[in-house]
Amino acid sequence: MRVLVVEDDRRIAADLERGLRAAGYVVETVGDGEEAWFRGDTEDYAAIILDLGLPGMDGLAVLKRWRANDRRIPVLILTARASWAERVDGIDAGADDYLPKPFRMEELLARLRSIVRRSAGHASSVISIGDITFDERQMRVTVRGSPVALSPLEYRLASYLVLHRGRVVSQHELSENIYGQEDAHDSNAVEVLVGRVRKKLGGELIETRRGFGYIVPGADA
Ligand code: CA
């Protein structure tokens, strides 16, 4: 899942990158408000972590412009002061949640999972489809109760499709959310990955829609 980190403090940005990558996210980072606004306006992310005090354009203005332009990507705001007025401003501007600095990575990850889930319309971090159970918190997949060893890429692919189940996801969207910009991959990499996930989780889970992409069928559970 691809996440945009908007933070001008290099040290905090590096901590965020490390923590998010360890949790399986693909991370892009920008430290300037104008650049952040442009990326969020033109690219698709599963979520955006947004600092408020930024050079170029402040975080609140960036968020307001996204929302005014109907960009609905879930946004988690980082506030330097735990001021209630700032939080209220953030929520009013269309933030999905906020976290005061300093924060613990565990809490940030929990809030991030929660806003991504809510935006996809799910309430729980454990999703079961037939015999297969995805535990997003533990990044664990079990089939009939037995854990299945997936590589980080396989897990990202499967969990992205499961989180967006009931919707056809294009190869392009999948590849953007599975690979970082730094990972080299060729055009049939997604296909190969789907093949490997099917081998491990069974052929039923992911269906191919020729020319459109892939889908994990099923309604919300
Ligand atoms: Ca800042």
8 CA to middle of ligand 1, Å? 5
98 CA to middle of ligand 1, Å? 14
**C-alpha–C-alpha distance, residues 64 and 166, integer Å:** 30
pTM of the model: 0.75
The domain limits of the chain are 2-119, 126-215
pLDDT of residue 7: 97
Task: Examine domains 2-119 and 126-215 and report if their fold is the same.
Answer: no
Say whether pLDDT at 184 is over 80.
no
25 CA to middle of ligand 1, Å? 22
- Asked if residues 79 and 105 have their Cβ atoms less than 8 Å apart, the reply is no
Q: Taking residues 66-80, report their average pLDDT.
A: 91
58 CA to middle of ligand 1, Å? 9
The environment of the single-atom ion ligand 1, i.e. residues with CB closer than 5 A, is 8, 51, 53
97 CA to middle of ligand 1, Å? 17
Residues 6+ apart with CB under 8 A from 140: 134, 147
**C-alpha–C-alpha distance, residues 162 and 218, integer Å:** 9
Give domain 126-215's CATH architecture.
Orthogonal Bundle (1.10)
* Residue 101, SS3 per DSSP: coil
* Residue 57, SS3 per DSSP: coil
102 CA to middle of ligand 1, Å? 12
Lowest-confidence range among 5-14, 79-88, 172-181? 79-88
Portion of the chain with pLDDT greater than 70, in percent: 95
Tens of pLDDT, residue by residue over 86-131, are 777 888 888 999 998 889 999 999 999 999 988 887 777 888 888 9
Residues 6+ apart with CB under 8 A from 49: 3, 4, 5, 6, 7, 16, 75, 76, 78, 108, 112
Lowest-confidence range among 34-43, 116-125, 153-162, 181-190? 181-190
20 CA to middle of ligand 1, Å? 19
- CATH class of residue range 2-119: alpha beta
Q: Taking residues 196-217, report their average pLDDT.
A: 94
181 CA to middle of ligand 1, Å? 24
